[in-house]
Structure 1
């Protein structure tokens, strides 16, 4: 899962574009497939924030096709003066393209402790190919929030409900509602986000199975506390008897399937040990899975291949020169110097890995939603 130090990962946004983003005045205005980018401060009225009484925040970034030719911005992650990652390029808040009446929609789910902006490499390629794309920051489990919360790290299934709530909002959004084809909605996720979309497709989580897996000989790094919040288990112990935690735990093995989603794609998915063979049998929609051969965080055999072996019709591809963190944003020179393993890619080029993965995701959704 994505183990990122929270102080290093902040995707900050201006009202008209992005902070940590700079316009390129020399960029050609003749971009073949320009991409727009905007934000929404959604909330979930059905759930409260962790440790508070306000509605649960669901800040969401949206990318989409546009006909505009204004300057695009380079979006970076970290200190704008010395960024650690380059997320991609987009135009700030242009209008949606008029080339289609309605567009397919793909929702994105980031890895644990990360942020939706780290999947911009995938979002922009999807948008260039005619998709509206929305990435939510999962409350309590995102570096784009004010604080981490143990519930955000350990009550994984709550992330699934985030995606359903974001879809509710987008289907009522003044700008996007009438331009989304509700019959062509999909979701993709990385690492814990891969778990999230498997759950969204109907996979049933089993804490008992995960405990047995972690006590067994096949246990992997998904069993361990995450480095950006290593104290999550002890912090959870302090709130374990709170009503909101007990209510969530009581529902952990429920189905969070959302029938509005037509297909899902899991990239380097984690928590394979939390799903039994029977728990994956309810999934009937198309599922694509991408593993990384050099993944030592969510190893292919206990995660990607486990899902592929037990989800009927699932499509599995394994990238030979990729590691787990290859699916984060592209590292800057400063990032490579300071972040070590988070910028190593198992032998391949991160740009090439991103392009390979994005092409596969686009083909998958084109096949199963168009």
Structure 2
């Protein structure tokens, strides 16, 4: 080989590209294997951490309508004898029998009201536990949900939620295909955050909406910041007529409220005196979004001996949401240090079930 040929071979671009191509293929293969392995681990972890129940639970999502004819989604959990399987529920899996038949008769009904930006499955583990214990659970998708927050701070966010909860009960007792299997004399309600406000007003509480503007003028509380961002009518000098029209639903026999939002609006002397239903009230002592002193404490003091108060050490605001599993989406999966949400929920769910069972006896 002469010198010119050696020089050509030393810089032959074809050979260089071929060598580079082999390296790319090699690393592509390695990365593909890594991705497949990690994906497999994630899928296995999701199935391992999926929400399960002691007794089989059925689940379905139906379309309901409010009093104005506006449709909304409604998630329903209930006892069943059908075989459950894994179903995707946002950022976790739950074992349910999709559209399985309903097992039992004269079943109690518990309606659930999620918090701002929440969804049907915000409290799926509690819904599953209640259904496993023999209850029908119905959770409406309120107009302020994770997909659409446009109603925040509007009348639909205040009295509209309460009316939607009533429409949920109406649907379950008259339009649901298994309505005859529900005991209309045993109805309870659970509410979280603004859902707690919803449940309280549904059972007779009378908030002073006019006090909100004055309170928020001197407060950086999360609820006030949210109302400011939405330019809410609640911060105006005068409120629209009828904005405080909360119609009590006497069909509700017991309520459970967790980390109630806008609790400071119940500070009036007569705000809670009309509530005759038993109330279980939950609050995390590390809740910075909805502080105890200006929310749950106001309700606790107003209800007096009528409330079963549960203060949860080291719990934050989002600690009452369904345990997240491996896909931890901030901020809803964030808890204070040293707090185990999954362990806490086992205790909370049992106490909630026992509370409803005691106060919704046949």
TM range (shorter): 0.7 to 0.9
2:230: which partner in 1? 232
Distance, in Å, in 1 between the alignment partners of 2:311 and 2:93 is: 23
Residues 229-283 of structure 1: CA deviation (Å, up to 9, x unaligned)? x74217x69xx9xxxxx9x942233342101111111011111111123111111
Return the index of the structure with the highest Cα Rg: 2
Aligned structure 1 segments of 4 or more residues deviating by more than 6 angstroms: 24-27
2:81: which partner in 1? 67
Q: Which runs of 5+ in 2 are unaligned?
A: 1-42
- For the 8 Å contact 2:190–2:255, the answer to whether it is kept is yes
Distance, in Å, in 2 between the alignment partners of 1:186 and 1:150 is: 25
- TM-score, normalised to structure 2, is 0.78
- For the 8 Å contact 2:60–2:76, the answer to whether it is kept is yes
Deviation of the 1:173 alpha carbon:
2.5
Identify which of structures 1 and 2 has the higher relative contact order when contacts are C-alpha pairs closer than 8 Å and 6+ apart: 1
1:107: which partner in 2? 111
Q: Which runs of 5+ in 1 are unaligned?
A: 1-20, 48-54, 78-84, 241-245
Residues 295-341 of structure 1: CA deviation (Å, up to 9, x unaligned)? 001111211121111024111111102110112232344425xx257
Aligned residue pair count: 312
User: CA 1:327–1:346 in 2, change beyond 3 Å: closer, same or farther?
Assistant: farther
User: CA 1:263–1:133 in 2, change beyond 3 Å: closer, same or farther?
Assistant: same
Residues 197-251 of structure 1: CA deviation (Å, up to 9, x unaligned)? 011110112222222322347x63221117xxx74217x69xx9xxxxx9x9422
1:159: which partner in 2? 161
User: CA 1:341–1:134 in 2, change beyond 3 Å: closer, same or farther?
Assistant: closer
Distance, in Å, in 1 between the alignment partners of 2:172 and 2:256 is: 20
**Which secondary structure state, in structure 2, belongs to the residue aligned with residue 203 of structure 1?**
coil
User: CA 1:36–1:164 in 2, change beyond 3 Å: closer, same or farther?
Assistant: same
Distance, in Å, in 2 between the alignment partners of 1:367 and 1:143 is: 34
Deviation of the 1:88 alpha carbon:
3.2
- For the 8 Å contact 1:87–1:330, the answer to whether it is kept is no
Is 1:142 the counterpart of 2:127? The answer is no
Distance, in Å, in 2 between the alignment partners of 1:151 and 1:225 is: 8
User: CA 1:26–1:303 in 2, change beyond 3 Å: closer, same or farther?
Assistant: closer
Is 1:367 the counterpart of 2:358? The answer is yes
Residues 63-114 of structure 1: CA deviation (Å, up to 9, x unaligned)? 001111x24224331xxxxxxx32633221100013xx21000000000111
2:64: which partner in 1? 42
Distance, in Å, in 2 between the alignment partners of 1:25 and 1:293 is: 32
Is 1:199 the counterpart of 2:212? The answer is no
Aligned-CA RMSD value: 2.9
2:224: which partner in 1? 223
Matches within 5 A, 1:241-280: 249-275=240-266, 276-280=268-272
Is 1:317 the counterpart of 2:310? The answer is yes
Deviation of the 1:166 alpha carbon:
1.0
- For the 8 Å contact 1:87–1:329, the answer to whether it is kept is no
Distance, in Å, in 2 between the alignment partners of 1:281 and 1:331 is: 37
Distance, in Å, in 1 between the alignment partners of 2:152 and 2:315 is: 30
**Which secondary structure state, in structure 2, belongs to the residue aligned with residue 159 of structure 1?**
helix
User: CA 1:103–1:326 in 2, change beyond 3 Å: closer, same or farther?
Assistant: same
Distance, in Å, in 2 between the alignment partners of 1:26 and 1:320 is: 28
Which structure: greater helix fraction? 2
